[in-house]
Each structure stands twice: as structure tokens, then as C-alpha cells.
A and B are shown apart, each in its own frame.
Chain A
Amino acid sequence: MKVSRRSFLGMGAALATALGFGRFLPAAAEQPAVTGKILGASAKIGHQLRGGTFPAISSTIQKDVVIVGGGIAGLGAGYRLKKAGHTNFALLELEHQAGGNASSGRNATSAYPWGAHYVPLLTDESRAPKKLFEELGIIKGHDDKGLPIYDEYFLCSDPHERLFIEGRWQDGMVPNLGLTEDDKRQYSAFFALTDSFKNKRGRDGKKIFAIPVDKSSQDPDWLKYDTLSMKDWMDAQGYTSKPLRWYVDYCCRDDYGSSFDQTSAWAGMHYFAARTGTAANAAPGGLVTWPEGNGFLAHRLMEPIKDNIIPSTLAFRVKQDGARVNVDYLDQKTSEAKRISAKSVIVATPQFIAARLLDDKAIPANDFSYAPWVVANVTLSKLPAGKGVDLAWDNMIYDSKLLGYVVATHQNTEMVPLRTVLTYYWPLNHAEPKAARAEALARSYEDWRDIFLKELYAVHPEVEGHVENLDVWIWGHAMVRPTPGFIWGAARRKAMAQKPPIFRAHSDLSGISIFEEAYTRGVDAAERTLKYHKIPYETEL
């Protein structure tokens, strides 16, 4: 017989199968069951806002202020009012617990985040967040040079980041394996350029990229980049390096939930250039984090105002009535519709909710687009390992749809933690938000579980049999997307207009969904409220 090329290749494949098969022989043991469920922003209840009918108002109470929405903006507003001694307010929250994107969970192993999970060292412009951090003891004081001293337990522990690439973990998140000379040249050019943006100021003397966003320079030479996509900008600049483009795209997905061709170049550059915060006891680029992520901040904001918060309520109408404002809501426990008549209202909801509550046709809700995300928390009775560098706080996977995972127990000072919770983040940017959202909501728990387990085991076969629980949270509208033209466009400007006695507060108004923006918007709305109520205060902005 002549052995043809095909049969030879076939033999090779058979051998390879035999080899591959061998790997799985010892792992064929029985797997203990993985428990878990789907959690998530109450999509079904929220969707009643879309033309649902509500029962007649059964009761009315009076308040000075109503805050609608208990995310960071709403909590920040409540916290600020309380501090000013203005305590006759109610905060309406859709979920049974406030927190919004800073929601978190807790089990016997650890607390863990369901959304936002860190804050970079605060910039000089982030005045209100800085004041808060000092009040909460996150900033413990200042050194001789005036640099803030952060609580060392909150500064992200070393090692910060690692990247799974070519079957092993490398240190840091910028791919550094198998780079060509051209890649290296493009890397240094790109980082030199974005670093130079950090100190740059526009013709009006303001930083070109600031946090909060609205403290950025209005120099049109820089604002014009908002109309480009980050990908277009990289093309125009000649950044063709594949690992560099992957990295930039990753950063856009990580921070904005959208790929670099869906993200404004101004926003993309903002990510690299705006984080200029410094500390006496941390390197530039540092950050603070907690096991429960920004849930730590949400809880600290909630503590002093917990009696003002009315959870499990669906606000469905905010309407001016003479000098007062009526806020109508559905009490989800009793299914009764109730009314609060207030002197003023802070609408601290995303724009698509605000538009329905206020029935304001002037604000084009469709101009705001939202990235759907899926987050999974995986409880493990064994710490993941892997070839290469040690387990880090943020563990990224190269060329994956998922961003990777964050380790909830990372900030523990324990030498050998035996259990942990991993939080997997997945921005669903593979399709248009609407389609991706529908697809995500339609998927069963079992499907989600299997998808995440497959991702986990592909990188960490050693934890097979050690997964105890896997919960999934589907964020239909996780964060506003800074699509090209959005941040410096008309829709955001229009939405920002404050119309007393109704004030707006939400990071949607910034176009960038980060803690500093949301909290600053909350404080701003609270201070406007104080001014409107003629209560003296010293501004924190």
C-alpha cells in the first residue's frame, strides 16, 4: 500500500487525539454540583415603565426632597444633604438594596463586587470625592508635600495585574510576549504620547483630559477627537501593532463596555491620560479597592442615610405640581401606588429612566446608548494558580471575549488564603446593545454557568472540582457608552440642563460611568438643592 499524504496526516491527527485524550484521563472523576442563580437589576419590574399602567395613588406624604435612584449619584446626593443637616428626604430605590453599579454581595468566603470594583488615585480636580475619602479615612492625611496618604489596606496589593497569553501568565496587562521591534517601537511611541497628554493643558488653561470630565479643557483642538472612534484615531496615527491594538481595545471594553471602534477617541485617550492622581504612599497609576469593590463606598454612603432609603420601589412619574413636585411610585411589596409631594426632586437615575419619569420629549433618550454586561461571581475552595507569575488582583485573558477576573480576597493580608471568590467581567459588545441585551436576558442560568465554567477551566484546569457556587448578574444597561460624538455632543448638553425644582444627577450626564463622575454629580445636585432651599453650605465641588 502506498501511504498517501492524507492518510499520513490522518495518522498524525489520530496520534494527536491519543495525546490529547491522555490529558483528560485522570480528570474524569465525578464533579460536585455547582450551585448558583441569576441575579440582576430588576429588568421585568423596570420594564413596566415602558407604557405600563399603574394603579391609582393610594396615599400621599410630604417631604422636602425626594431622590429617585440609589446608585452612587443618588447615595452621594443623600449623603451630602444629610451632612448639611437637610434630613427630611426620601431616597427611592428600585432594588431591595441600593448601590447601583457599586452593588456587591457577600458569602461565607468573602464579600465580592457585582459591578464597579476600584477607584484610581483621585485627581486634583476630583474635589468632592477627595473630601469624601478624607471623611471615610480612605485618605488618612497628607505628607509634607501635601500628597494624600492613603490607607495602605485599601491600596491595591502587589501583584496588581497579570495577563494570560500563550498558555502562561505574564506580569502586567500590556502584552510583552513575542513582540517584534515594530511592536516595541509603537508601544513606546503610544505610551510616550498618552503620558504627554497627562500634563497637557488646552488654550483655556485647563487639563485636556480631566476627571470629572466637565473640568476638561474646551479647546476645540482637543474636543474634535470626540467625533472620531479610538480605532480611527489609532489608524490615523499609524498604530498597527496587533498587541497594542488589543490592549487599547481591552481598555475601552474594560472601562466603557464598548470596543475601540465603538468608543470615542477622546474617551479612549481620556482613559490613558486622565488618571493623574498621586499619593504619598503609592506609585502613580495606583488605585484603591476592597473585597466588595465599590460596594464598600456604597455601604459607607448608605450608613448615615439608611433610614431615608425606601427600597423595592418603582418610581414611575415625576411631575411638577405648582411649586411642588409629585413623585409617584409603586410599592413592590404591597403593589400600591403612592405619592410623595416634595419641594424639590433629584432624579438620580440613568437617562433612559429619567426620560420616562419626566416624560420629557426634549431629551432624546435614544442618543444615550448603554452597554450590557454580564458579571459572574465564582466561589472556589482552592486558589487558582497557573504557569508564570503569581495570582494577581486583576487577571486578564488575552484574545478573550471576557475581560478576565478579579480576586475578591486579594486585599486580605492572610498569607495563604484557602478559599476565594473570583469576579468575572464580560462586556457584551459583540452585537448592538439591544440585540446583545435580549440575547443575555434570554439565556438560562445553566447556559451562563456552563459558559463561565468553560472559560474558567480553559485557563485553570486545576480548580475543576473546587467550584462551589457560581452566581450570574445580567446588567441590561450597565453603563452609558461614550460613542463617537457623545461626550461633547448635544444630547449630553441638553440632559445636563438643570430645571429647578427638579435636578438631575447621574454619571450618564458625564458620558463616563466611573465613581468620581457619579459622586460629583450627586454632590452637585444636592448642593443645587440646598441652594434652592436657601440652606447655607460650603461647596465641596
Chain B
Amino acid sequence: MPSMLLISVIIIATCGLVYELIAGTAASYLLGDSVTQFSTVIGSYLFAMGIGSWLTKYIHRNLLGYFIRVEILVGAVGGCSAIVLFMLFEHVTSFRLVLYFIVGVIGVLVGIEIPLLLRILRDRFEFRDLVSRVLAFDYLGALFASVLFPLVLVPYLGLVKSSFMFGMLNVGVAIWLLYAVKEHVHALHVHKAVAIVTLIALTFGFIYSEKLMTIAENGIYSNVIFAESTPYQRIVITKTQKDLRLFLNGNLQFSSVDEYRYHEALVHPSMAALKDPKDILIIGGGDGLALREILKYPSVDHVTMVDLDPAMTLLFSKNELLTSLNNDSLLSPKLTIINKDAFVWLRDVSRQDKHPVFDAVFVDVPDPSNYSIGKMYSTTFFGQLKSVITDHSIVTVQSTSPLIARKTFWCVNNTMESVGFKTYPFHVYVPSFGEWGFVMASLGNYDMPDHFVDGLKFLNPESAKLMFSFPPDMSKVQTKIQRLDDQALVRYFDQEWGEYLVY
């Protein structure tokens, strides 16, 4: 019996420290500034332990029963701590209050453990032996935890699973004592039942932690009104008051508050400059917002949209919130939607003897953040594009931020130039994105239009003119060329956005 209790010292010490580390790490993840988070979490945790130790003087009898109850409680609270922190992050006004409350509760309970244990074991050891052993095992457990945490727990299990697992261990100690100890514990069966129910709950938490995490992550997007994982991407739509936002794989695609700036800039500089544009190609753009702008030109006969993901085009042609944003553009009889990979489609089409030729092309695909999307910005892709346009056609490519990712932006420009396009780059300020860039390109010359269609909120000849001027901090730089066999663009993007986004 005494030896069992000593072993449980190691387990509870490990658990105690693991909870502290989990809270510190979760706080660092969510709030940033790890030095502050760890200092304050450790400080308040130790202080709460002090309170716990002090409280033990009010426990007079039934020490073992209290110890078992404390174990179950620590297991339950500590075990759920990580998932609770993640889940509550977006939903509470003061996350710090929740954080320190949880840390405080665990601290108090853990603080009770050792003094209580010392008293339980008081009669079984000589005092000298007792203190030396219990404290030695306590510190040993702490070492074990601090090594285990960064090397095994975080990399292999993650915070949520780790916290559930250590909760299970804490409760396990309680159950072990309940079954092993022959001493008098009041309401033994009630204790057993509570402990086992808690253990089961924690086990479920452990097994379904990934599902729980998805729910918690959704919280980070604030009010998720739609979420779907397709084979190609994760589509999430959020809504707060007037702002509707689309996220693909966690990256913001538009905010309804300012998307007009982006889409007017994408579409009108080319469309207004063309004489009676008839056949239009949109690559990507499954949200139908660029299409909404294109359909403002009565000369347009036919629009071909090649967007990989049928879930996107379906969603934006059915959901009322979204169709009111894109004016039901995806239901236009002028539109043909092709849910295929754009590169594969383009290559197949350009090989056909009689293939369509487009007056305007809009490439509105996500930023070149990985090698897969990078292909759509390559010499090969732009070269293929040349085979479906005329000398007068205009191609416009969304090209990330020239301010944050200057080399990335100019790499798109320079790549298009390298395959024989004349380029006309421009940029626009979109509050939810920042300073944003587009590369317009043609095999012929481009003249800026002197008037635009009515009803635009942002573009007029004056604002359009400003877009083509690049101040020194965004002006043209020499870059490598984006080729399939050497994706310089993706590396520029990674480097430039990596420096900008400090996690």
C-alpha cells in the first residue's frame, strides 16, 4: 500500500507538470508571446498550488477519500483543459480569465495532493524517510514530464490528446486506489462509479479528439455558417453581422465588405478596354463574383468557367446568402461551368483542331503557396494560354500582394513576359487583404479605357490610372522565372509571406 502511493506520486507529479505545460503551450499558440504566457501560467499555477497546500489544513479525516476525490477532479479538469481552452478561445470575451481560472483550479487541486499524501503516509514511514521519498518522487515525475512533453507528447499526440491521456492517468490512480485499498472509504461504490464514468468520458475525448478539434477550429473562424471538406479543399464560410467571408484551406478568399474592390479591379481594366468582348474564360473564380462583374457587359455571349471543385460552384449557385452576393451569376444562361483541372483542360482544349478562342481570360486561383498551385503560374501554363487567345485578347492574373510579396508579384509579371506577353501590372487596396496586385497581359498593346460601365463602386478613369503606378516599395524587381521544373515563385512566396506572418 505505501509503495503504491509512492508510485502514484510519480504519476501525479507527471500529470501535474504536464497540465501546466499544456496550459502554457496552448496559451502561447492562441495568444502568442510565449515568454509572457509561460511565465504567467507557471507563476499562477505555483501560486494556486500554494493555496491548495494551505487548504489541506481544513481536511481533518478521511484523508484517503479526499485524495481519491482530488485525483478524479484533477483528471477531469486537467484532462479537458486543452480542448476547453481551444474551444472557448473565440467565444469568450476574456480568454485570459478562462485560462487563469483553469490553471488556478488545476493548481489548487495539485497543491492538495502532496500534503495530503504526506499525511496519509505519516504513520507508515519515519518522517525523515517520508519527506525525502515523497519529494524525491515528486521531482522525478516533474523531470519525466518535462522531457516527455516536448519529445513525445507534443510531436506525436498533440496537446488535446496529451491532456486527455494524462487525465485518464490521474483518474486511473484514483481507480487503482479504490480497488486496491482495503481501508475505509465512505461511499466506495459512488466513488468507483464516478471515477469510471470520468475515465470513460476522458477516453472518448481521447479517441474523438480530432473531431473535437475540428469543432474548436471552426470557432477560430468566428461564426461559421458553412463548412465542407471536399476532395480538393476545405470550404468554410463565416458571417459576422454584415461581413460574409470565404476561406479555402484556411486562407481568406474574400470579405463581402470589400470584395467589390478586388473584383472590379480584376475584371474592368481589361473588359472596358476591349471592343465588344464576346467569349470569356475564367479559371478558378467558382464564387461567381468575377463573373458578376463580367456579366455587366451586354456584348458578352458566352463565359466558360473552369473551376476544379464542383462543390464550390454548386454552393455559390444555390445558397441564398451567396447568390445574393454574386447576383445569381452562376445561373446565367451564358455560362458553361467545367469542373476540371484547369491545366489539364487547357492542354486538352488547345490540342483540339477546332478550339475556342477567348477575348478575355481571368486567372483567379489561390496564391502560389505550394507546388501544386504554382503550376498554374508557370511558363508552361501561360504558354498554353496563348493558344486560346488572339493578339487582341487580354489576360488578367491575380498575383498576390506586391507590397508584402514583391518578388512573388514581379515573378508572375516576369514569367508572363518571358513567354511573349506584354504585361500591364497594377495594384489596388483591398482592406481585408491589404495592397493587392494583378498582372494584366496581352500579345498586343493595351490602352487604358476612358470610361467604365455604370454602377461601379470603386473604379473610374481616375482611380484606374492610379492603379498602374507602383511606388518605390513595390516597384519592379528582377526575378527568376517560374518553370515547372524550377518553381522559383513558390519559394519567393514562402519566403516573403513567411517573413510577414509572424506566428
Contact = CB atoms under 8 A, between A and B. Distances in A.
Contacts of A134: none
26 contacts: A3-B3, A3-B6, A3-B7, A8-B140, A15-B14, A15-B144, A22-B161, A23-B156, A25-B206, A26-B207, A152-B483, A153-B484, A155-B483, A155-B485, A157-B371, A157-B484, A158-B485, A158-B486, A158-B487, A281-B485, A283-B485, A283-B486, A413-B343, A413-B381, A413-B484, A416-B231
A282 interface: yes
Interface in B1-52: 2-3, 6-7, 10, 14
B122 interface: no
Contacts of B342: 415
A15 B12 CA distance: 13
B232 A19 contact: no
A429 B394 CA distance: 58
A409 B14 CA distance: 47
B347 interface: yes
B293 to A, nearest CB: 24
A141 interface: no
A19 B6 contact: no
Contact of B341 (A11, A26, A416): A416
A420 to B, nearest CB: 13
B376 A415 contact: yes
A155 B371 contact: no
A19 B165 contact: yes
B379 interface: yes
Nearest to B381: A413
Contacts of B341: 413-416
B292 interface: no
Interface in B194-226: 206-207, 210
Interface residues of B, number: 46
A12 B156 contact: no
Interface in A51-82: none
Nearest to A383: B372
B227 interface: no
Contacts of B14: 15
Contact of A413 (B148, B156, B157, B344): B344
B62 interface: no
Interface of B: 2-3, 6-7, 10, 14, 137, 140, 144, 148, 152-153, 155-157, 161, 165, 169, 206-207, 210, 231-233, 308, 341-344, 347, 370-376, 379-381, 483-487, 490
A167 to B, nearest CB: 8
Interface in A244-292: 281-283, 286
A415 B484 contact: no
Contacts of A156: 485
Contacts of A8: 10, 140
A11 B372 contact: no
B56 to A, nearest CB: 25
A414 B347 CA distance: 11
A152 B7 contact: no
A286 B375 CA distance: 18
B157 A19 contact: yes
A147 interface: no
Contacts of B343: 413-415
Contacts of A25: 206-207
Interface in A160-189: 160, 167
Contacts of B347: 413
A360 B265 CA distance: 78
B128 to A, nearest CB: 15
Interface string A12-25: 10011011001101
A152 B490 contact: no
Contact of A414 (B3, B344, B370, B485): B344
Nearest to B487: A158
Nearest to A416: B232
Nearest to B340: A414
A196 B349 CA distance: 47
Nearest to B144: A12
A19 B156 CA distance: 9
A535 interface: no
Interface in A8-56: 8, 11-12, 15-16, 18-19, 22-23, 25-26
Q: For the complex of A and B, list the 3 residue pairs with the smallest distance between their C-beta atoms, beginning with the closest.
A: A1-B3, A155-B485, A413-B343
Most B C-beta atoms less than 10 A away, residue of A167, A281, A283: A281
A289 B412 CA distance: 26
B7 A11 contact: yes
A418 interface: yes
A506 B486 CA distance: 34
Contacts of A413: 341, 343-344, 347, 375, 380-381, 484
B231 A418 contact: yes
Contacts of B148: 19
A167 B156 CA distance: 11
A455 interface: no
Contact of A152 (B157, B376, B380): B380
Nearest to A288: B485
Given A1-B6, A3-B6, A415 B373 contact: yes
A390 interface: yes
Contacts of B371: 157-159, 390
Nearest to B374: A158
A415 B372 contact: yes
Contact of B485 (A12, A15, A282, A416): A282
A402 B317 CA distance: 50
Contacts of A414: 341, 343-344
A22 to B, nearest CB: 6
Nearest to B485: A155
A281 B3 CA distance: 73
Nearest to A23: B156
Interface string A359-399: 00000000000000000000000000000001000000000
A27 B210 CA distance: 13
Nearest to B10: A11
A418 B490 CA distance: 21
Contacts of A19: 148, 152-153, 156-157, 165
Contacts of A22: 157, 161, 165, 206
Given A152-B380, A153-B380, A158-B485, A416 B308 contact: yes
B64 to A, nearest CB: 18
A241 B14 CA distance: 39
Nearest to A389: B371
Nearest to B203: A25
B485 A157 contact: yes
A109 to B, nearest CB: 15
Contacts of A158: 371, 374, 483-487, 490
Contacts of B344: 412-414
Contacts of A286: 485
Nearest to B210: A26
B235 to A, nearest CB: 14
A158 B379 CA distance: 13
Contacts of B156: 19, 23
B75 to A, nearest CB: 15
Contacts of B140: 8
Contacts of A415: 308, 341-343, 372-373, 375-376
Nearest to A157: B484
Contacts of A282: 483, 485-486
A15 B2 CA distance: 20
Contacts of B485: 152, 155-158, 160, 281-283, 286
A140 to B, nearest CB: 12
A390 B370 contact: yes
B484 A152 contact: yes
Nearest to B136: A3
A90 B153 CA distance: 66
A78 B486 CA distance: 36
Contacts of A160: 485
Contact of A416 (B206, B372, B380): B372
